[in-house]
Amino acid sequence: MLRNLITEYLVSNASVDPALFDQPDLMISDLALDSLTLVEMLFEVEDRFGFQVSDPMQFRTMSFNDMVAAIEQEVRAHHNGEMPDLVLNQAALEGK
Amino acid sequence: MNKVVVTGLGMISPLGADLASSFEAALAAKSAVRQAPADLCAGLPHVLYAPVTVDPAALLGRAHAGLDRAAQLALLAAQEAMHEAQIDEAQPPEDAGRFGVYAGIGFGGAHTVDALYARYFQALHAAEGSGKHATVMHPLSVPRMMANAAAAAISMRYGLRGASNTYSVACASSAVAAGEAFRAIQHGYLDAAIVVGTEAMLTPGSIVAWNALRVMARPDAADPSASCKPFSLNRNGFVLGEGAAAILLESEARAARRGRKPVAELAGYGCSSDAHHLTAPSVEGQVAAMQQALSGAGLRPDQIQYLNAHGTATDAGDVVEAQSIEAVFGAATSRLAVSSTKAVHGHLIGAGGTAELALSIMAMQRGAIPPTAHLTQADPRCALDFVPLQARHGCDIRAVMSNSFAFGGTNACLIARRTDQ
């Protein structure tokens, strides 16, 4: 799912402490990401779902949960309201 | 003017993962040239290449996984040179503001550019029905492909705050980088500089481009590894390689303060332009570069014992270089050993200048001259002592010259000499 995709990326590539994601009110600013790392994180989503997220900088002042919800909304908007199956998508990518 | 010394060398090449193994393979005339795999050849038959022996990404930590292959190779070569000079990445030098990075690269980020276009056009053709936009690209595409990515990575890793310059002068890129760093230290703008030459463009896109230029060697029917034959009567072109080499330069005074024994002195640099033809070489321009280097070093031609030639194994290149060497060395030509190591490591383009200077310095240290491999019958128009087939050992080498001549008409020449004289 989308949330796991993002947290896994941040933990393994941006050295974010996984325990942080247990906080329900976690803010993006608490993750101490620079703007380049933020857009690299979004690329994980963009690469899977095939579109460019509209405004990366809006997330800098959001909570983590709100960011995930906002990204999900964009993904659905690009897929007729559906959430594409990530596992299938991954298989399709690897099959190339 | 400050005397400039070499205190560290590094290399990752088709011949080996470090300088010592690369030099041994060059001495043994052990060629790294081979048939390229089908996925690189873009449908072309008979493509040869000379890839590095190890995967640079696997040797570097995760922090460098996002860099283009050329920058990764550069980091590894710099790491070996810095390690030899006992400069630790965890502790930036106290005079970091007087310590520069000088890089040479022919094509910036070829792997990144090739992959970007491949991804774009594949996605464009597949876009119909998939709902995916072809325009989604990795956000680091630009900082990966920029020509100065290697210099930036080295500056950041070692905390070097002096000038960080990148020279893109085709096949002379890193020879020019070394020469300009030499001058910066000589004239007191810097006290130290890590010079690195790097190139990684063994990609389908660049291979079809090089193929179109009609300068690539055709495979030797009996032994594909012997396909690149500089100065040979039956030569027919060069083989594209990849790799990186690094040379740490310091003022003699700085090296002495640190108690470092120099490997050699970088003594002379010459640089000229042909103003003549986009790809064809010229005797006049090459002679000018060699004479400048000799004059800067304060050496007569008969004081150079070994010359690592540009020697690409193209007809025009080899004949013109042989004429230029004779014009510069005159009566001393017969006592000069000349070889082209491109026969075994391929043409390293932007990395060629530093790689071949590093091999020349090794030759001087060891008193052993790497041969011109695969040279059974020399072209009569190239009548020099090319050290054919077999290395020459037990030589008293006091000074070496390395030539790099580029498309675009740039000629660069470097001279190194022993410090114990």
For A27-91, the DSSP string reads BGGGG---HHHHHHHHHHHHHHHTS--S-GGGGGGSBHHHHHHHHHHHHHHHTTT----HHHHHH
Pairing of strands B264-273, B410-417: antiparallel
- Would you call B45 an interface residue with chain A, using a CB distance cutoff of 8 Å? no
Question: Are B119 and B50 part of one and the same domain?
Answer: no
Across the range A18-30, mean pLDDT stands at: 96
Evaluate whether ipTM surpasses 0.95: no
In the predicted structure, residue A88 carries a pLDDT above the cut 70: no
Q: Which residues of chain B does A36 touch, with a Cβ-Cβ cutoff of 8 Å?
A: 139-140
| Annotation says B395 is catalytic | no
Closest chain B CA to residue A77: B131
Q: Are B276 and B229 in the same domain?
A: yes
pLDDT tier for residue A95 given thresholds of 50, 70 and 90: very low
* pLDDT band for position B421 (cuts 50, 70, 90): low
Q: Does residue B127 share a domain with residue B16?
A: no
Regarding whether B166 and B117 lie in a shared domain, the answer is no
Q: Are residues B160 and B223 in the same domain?
A: yes
The first and second tokens of residue B86, run together, are 């006992």
Q: What percentage of chain B has pLDDT greater than the value 70?
A: 99
Residue B26 Cα to chain centre, angstroms = 14
pLDDT level of residue B61 (50, 70, 90 thresholds): confident
Asked whether residue B136 falls in the same domain as residue B248, the answer is: no
CATH code for A2-94? 1.10.1200
CA–CA distance, B323 with B379 (Å, rounded to integer): 12
pLDDT on residue B219: 96
Amino acid at B326: E
Of the pLDDT bands very low, low, confident and very high (cuts 50, 70, 90), residue B62 is confident
What confidence tens digit (pLDDT) does each residue in B388-419 have?
A: 999 999 999 999 999 999 999 999 999 999 99
- In this prediction, residue B169 has a pLDDT band, given cuts at 50, 70 and 90, of very high
Q: Check B133 against A43: CB less than 8 A apart.
A: no
pLDDT for the residue B346: 98
Are B129 and B254 part of one and the same domain? no
Is the same domain home to B254 and B137?
A: no
- Per-residue pLDDT band for A91 (boundaries 50, 70, 90) equals very low
Tokens of residue B211, six digits: 């193929």
Q: Tell if the CB–CB gap between B130 and A52 is shorter than 8 Å.
A: no
| Cβ distance of B140 and A40 shorter than 8 Å | yes
CATH number of the CATH domain containing B400? 3.40.47.10
Task: Please tell me whether residues B117 and B158 are part of one structural domain.
Answer: no
Q: What are B251-263's pLDDT values in tens digits?
A: 999 999 999 999 9
**Residue extents of the structural domains in chain A:** 2-94
What range defines the domain where residue B47 resides?
4-109+146-417
Please say whether the beta carbons of B166 and B103 come within 8 A.
Answer: yes
Same domain, B320 and B366: yes
A77 pLDDT above the threshold of 90:
yes
Number of domains in chain B: 2
At residue B192, the pLDDT reads: 98
Beta strand residue intervals within B105-223, DSSP E: 164-167, 192-199
Q: Are residues B126 and B162 in the same domain?
A: no
Q: At what angle do helices B110-130 and B69-84 cross, to 10 degrees?
A: 150
- The total of other beta-carbon atoms located within 10 Å of residue B9's CB is 27
Report, in angstroms and rounded to the nearest whole number, the Rg of chain A calculated over CA atoms. 13
Residue tagged 């000799």 (tokens): B294
Q: What is chain B's mean pLDDT, rounded?
A: 96
Q: Which of B41, B228, B271, B347 is flagged as catalytic?
A: B347
Identify whether residues B315 and B186 lie together within a single domain: yes
